Amino acid sequence: MTKQETSTAGNIAIADTLFGDLPLDYWAAVDNNEVPWSLFKAAKKSMNEEQFGDAAETLSQIISLPGLESRQYLQACYFLQQMGVSASEPLKLYGVVVEVSIEDGHDLLAVYADHSARYHNYSGSAVIWDSHDNSIAAKIDAILKQGLDIVAKIGPWKDVRPPAPGVNMARISFLTSHGLHFGEAPQSVLFNDPMSKAIMYAMLDMMETLINKVGK
């Protein structure tokens, strides 16, 4: 499916919805009372009442649920991190995002462990992929495997996620249960660096695959 998007309710930019680090106020305000949304609302209520242990227990419950979207797991992990609760489970890589800034704008490609994907072109057009496709699933699994190898070699980012990279710069972000890991450099450097070039080319191939899929 393709559609053009520029922003979401509450002045949250579309790009900011890709990383699993939206504010709890925004996430808990989603107009849906089914699980896990009901649990996010319950966690927010507990935090408002300063029942932080209950909030942490609810967020941990979300992480333990099977079959959720990757960004739902990421948000629960993120809220726990904000509370200072360290992840007790082994690190999981839920998604990879590549951002490229050019003079005309900002391109983003995101792939997730639930086999969904998002491509946002600087022009404002987008590919939103939530369908099941074995070939795309296999490509995403390969990207995540490469990503885990990189994450094992770089430490997590301890601060808030930085703004989009500057013109002619690129960033590859690894969205994990233990926080954000990323590398940033000129685009040409990331495509030639021994650590990042394979996954950068794999993400480029994914972008072309998504465009071809929706163009058929």
Sorted by where each starts, the structural domains of the chain and their CATH numbers stand as 7-82 (no CATH), 93-215 (3.30.1560)
Report the chain's C-alpha Rg in angstroms. 17
Backbone conformation region of residue 89, classed left if phi is above 0, alpha if psi is from -120 to 50, else beta: beta
Asked whether the beta carbons of 186 and 168 are under 8 A apart, the reply is: yes
Q: At what angle do helices 37-48 and 70-82 cross, to 10 degrees?
A: 10
Residue 171's H or E segment, with its range, is: strand 169-176
Q: How far apart are CA 55 and CA 58, in angstroms?
A: 5
Residue-level pLDDT at 216: 56
Q: What is the b/e burial string over 66-91, where b = at least 16 CB atoms within 10 angstroms of the residue's CB?
A: eebbbbbbbbbbbbbbeeebebeeee
The rounded percent of the chain whose pLDDT value lies above 90 is 84
Asked whether the beta carbons of 181 and 151 are under 8 A apart, the reply is: yes
Q: At what angle do helices 37-48 and 52-64 cross, to 10 degrees?
A: 160
**Mean pLDDT along residues 50-65:** 96
How much is the pTM? 0.93
Is the pLDDT at 157 greater than 60? The verdict is yes
Interval 5-57: pLDDT, tens: 333 444 578 889 999 999 999 999 999 999 999 999 999 999 999 999 999 99
- What contacts 23, CB < 8 A, 6 or more positions away? none
> DSSP secondary-structure letter at 166?
-
Which residue, among 33, 32, 26, has the nearest Cα to 8 in the 3D structure? 26
Backbone conformation region of residue 11, classed left if phi is above 0, alpha if psi is from -120 to 50, else beta: left
Residue-level pLDDT at 118: 97
Residue-level pLDDT at 11: 52
Residue-level pLDDT at 2: 32
Interval 83-110: pLDDT, tens: 999 877 899 999 999 999 988 889 999 9
CA atoms within 13 A on the CB side of 122: 11
Average pLDDT, the chain: 92
Q: At what angle do helices 197-215 and 134-151 cross, to 10 degrees?
A: 160
Q: What is the b/e burial string over 103-119, where b = at least 16 CB atoms within 10 angstroms of the residue's CB?
A: eeebbbbbbbbbbbbbb
